[in-house]
Amino acid sequence: MEIYVVKQGDTIYKIAEMFNVSAEKIIADNELTENAVNNLVVGQTLVIMLENSTHTVVSGDTLFKIAKQYNVSLSDLTKANPQITNPLNLTIGSVINIPKLATNKREIEVNGYCFPNISREVLSKTLPSLTYLSIFSYEVYPNGNLNNLNNDTVLIELARQNNVAPMMVVTNIEEGASFSSELAHQVLSSPVNQANLINNILTTMQQKNYYGVDIDFEYLYPEDRELYNQFLQALSLAIKPQGFILTTAVAPKTSSNQEGILYEAHDYAFHGRVSDHVIIMTYEWGYTYSAPRAVAPAPEVKRVLDYAVTQIPSQKILMGMPNYGYDWNVPYVEGTAASAISNTGAVNLAREVGSFINYSTSEQAPYFNYYTPNQQHEVWFDDANSVKTRLQFVSDYNLGGVSYWTINSYFPQNWLVLNAMYNVKKLV
């Protein structure tokens, strides 16, 4: 796999000739429309799937780093590249041959959150790259009852037909609103309500043929931290003897004493003990009401992982991967809202408005600016390079895998990069 950044004057056919692959393959792999083929955007990425694996040297590369990235030994990499006369001084832009041993990629687990209205076409293209399909969501009531999510049955069946484990997602989202601290408190502070919720979760998983449950309780009162831990412990003891697994979703913390209602009740160390997996929501640095920036800046994600692996067994961690970007009005005015945009939609917008795409080396993410009448805009999103940068953290930190929020929008380059770097574990 190679990731190519489009330059001024490039055409699909010139790029295809450069890499000795067919233009049709590049078009099909990246799912480019006719308009996209004829109007490449300067700065957009294209994933080139090569017959023989190669790596183009970038600034900072060493043979050791490249060997680690492709899971090959340094000696095998050296043997495959006799043209390298000075291994300590690689030439930027030179092509390194990756030996066949690199096909023995590491196996990781991949979770994808989806809403029940996901397109069947998108789902069918995504399921081969998933270990778990987490269907969002069962909402809890104060007494521990759950709302009725009738339209999850088909998704459960499709998941299992494709060897993907369906996961029940339970949230403290208030009906018709958002995550509610008070709702969670009403459940957690009552032993009767807790027991009722646990029974309802177990019954639903048994009746609907779920593989396990993901508890996504957010914005908990800090004083409910121990109550939440006790609930997770009781839930684990109830469901694991029945063959179900427990996953929890937590906010992206960088220390145990991090302040804020989003963070304080999420006890990383405890979740690491009681849960089979811990999904860390490493996104939303750039969010609807923030100033413009990357949704998941690589340095920020790295800070979270630096702390997380000291508290949670690394193999239990599924690193969060956003599958969207935002379009902000600039200059930014506090309180104004950005518009969500898909990664593919961002490139299409840049094409439509005639913008070049830039890449932030500090955020490790692409962005561009454009104008509408009387208004400037700034768009941040993900491309193949930003995805690859963060996916490399899975190897760097020996993580269990990744979790996507959400898979409802199909971004072909993400799955090309993911499957080039890792094998996806299947459990059913």
Query: 406 preceded by cis ω (within 30°)?
Result: yes
Q: Are strands 95-97 and 54-56 parallel, antiparallel or unpaired?
A: antiparallel
Alpha-carbon span 427 to 109, nearest angstrom: 9
Residue with token string 């003891």: 237
Residue tagged active-site, from 2, 139, 218, 264: 218
Alpha-carbon span 249 to 169, nearest angstrom: 10
Tell me the DSSP string of 101-144: GGGSPPEEEEEEEE-TT--HHHHHHHGGG-SEEEEEEEEBPTTS
> CA–CA distance from 346 to each of 117, 343, 352, 355 (Å)?
22, 5, 10, 11
CB 74 within 8 A of CB 54: no
Is 334 part of the annotated catalytic residue set? no
Q: Are strands 277-280 and 317-322 parallel, antiparallel or unpaired?
A: parallel
Closest to 145 measured CA to CA, from 214, 200, 210, 205: 200
Handedness of CA 263, 265, 269, 275 (dihedral sign): negative
Q: Are strands 358-360 and 45-48 parallel, antiparallel or unpaired?
A: unpaired
For the sheet with 358-360, list strands across it: 339-341, 325-330, 375-380, 365-372, 358-360
Helices 225-239 and 181-188 pack at an angle, to 10 degrees, of: 60
Catalytically active residues are 218
